[in-house]
A = this chain, B = another copy of it.
Amino acid sequence: MFPKNTWYVACTPDEIAEKPLGRKICGESIVFYRGNGGQVAALEDFCPHRGAPLSLGKVVDGKLVCGYHGLEMGCDGKTVAMPGQRVRGFPAIRSFPVVERYGFIWVWPGDPAAADAGKIPHQDWYDHPEWAYGGGLFHINCEYRLMIDNLMDLSHETYVHATSIGQKEIDETPCKTTVDGDTVTTSRFMNNIEAPPFWKLALRGNNLADDVPVDRWQVCRFTPPSHVMIEVGVAHAGKGGYDAPVAHKVYSVVVDFITPESETSHWYFWGMARKFNPGDQALTDTIREGQRKIFTEDLEMLERQQRNLSAWPARDLLKLNIDAGGVQSRKILERLVAEESRPGESKGEASGTRVQA
């Protein structure tokens, strides 16, 4: 279950730099590539000639050329040419609205008539002199909502990430969840504690002492369909915490774009945007590798959790107060999916046209 009339992150530009990329998103097999003038295009990954995946082809003069028999496909899903053939009667394949923005390729797998590039959420940190960003991509064999649950309940850090960002004060400090429209926020503030290893590294990366007490915050923010932005950081204790002047803190946003592949698998685009020492590329690399190591610790747990839930489909799970962030996020998703299936609503099944972004 996932909404289809919405924007998902499909890939990063480097993934389509050399050749077309085939990727399944929300159950749709899609080929992504740079077409006319370098603009990104997204089409069904199915050549109308004999069904070969177009992603095995190559791009020539802005047209996607099938790697089997040379059919030239246009960015709108209409065949442009084929050696020795008149192509006017060729059936069009589906194209998907697609936009390149904020360092990602975004795709709209639903009704193209409803696609509005203005609905792609603004990313403050992108291309901004005060910020630096680094990230990566995982393919995970679990439903995307298990990842939302994971990120909206950071009490798991104490157990899954014990040696990097976990600490007992997370468990001991209650969190608070609020819902404002389609935004769900779960916050936790821990004062006068010792920074865990990852945050000591970040303090040093900002030329701050790492051996003094700190105030630590975690503000997880879900917006549909599956974006979770987490304000995280520590400040030297007593300097104002979350609101401390920049000279006394390290402040970052964990950037999570979670894209369903199928009902039991997803693409996880993770990263960290930091608002300190942005010019230090080595620090960016260090933080990315630290984050990769930390997020790798979640993989086995999430995939094994999925296998358990698939094996026991009828069993109810608990919804404790620490789970409120995930529970509220799921309610919003259920409402959005129900709206898409209502008569008169678009169901994301119509044949597509490419949005101008």
Interface of A with B (CB < 8 Å)? 29, 45-46, 48-53, 56-57, 65-70, 82-85, 90-91, 149, 153, 155-156, 158-160, 171-172, 174, 300-301, 304-305, 307-309, 311-312, 315-318, 320-323
Contacts and interface: CB of A to CB of B under 8 A. Distances in A.
Contacts of A49: 317-318, 320
B50 A318 contact: yes
Contact of A83 (B53, B90, B171, B301): B171
Q: Which of A68, A82, A315, A322 has the most CB of B within 10 A?
A: A68
Q: Which 5 A-B pairs have the closest CB atoms?
A: A83-B171, A51-B308, A52-B305, A53-B304, A51-B309
A29 B83 contact: no
Nearest to A48: B318
Contact of A312 (B51, B156, B160): B51
B56 A301 contact: yes
A305 B50 contact: yes
A316 B48 CA distance: 8
A63 to B, nearest CB: 14
Number of copies: 3
Contacts of A29: 308, 311
A80 B309 CA distance: 23
Given A66-B159, A68-B160, A83-B158, 9 more contacts: A51-B312, A51-B315, A52-B304, A53-B307, A67-B160, A69-B156, A69-B322, A70-B158, A84-B322
A316 B50 CA distance: 9
14 contacts: A29-B308, A49-B317, A50-B323, A51-B309, A52-B305, A53-B304, A53-B308, A67-B301, A68-B160, A68-B305, A82-B320, A85-B321, A90-B318, A91-B316
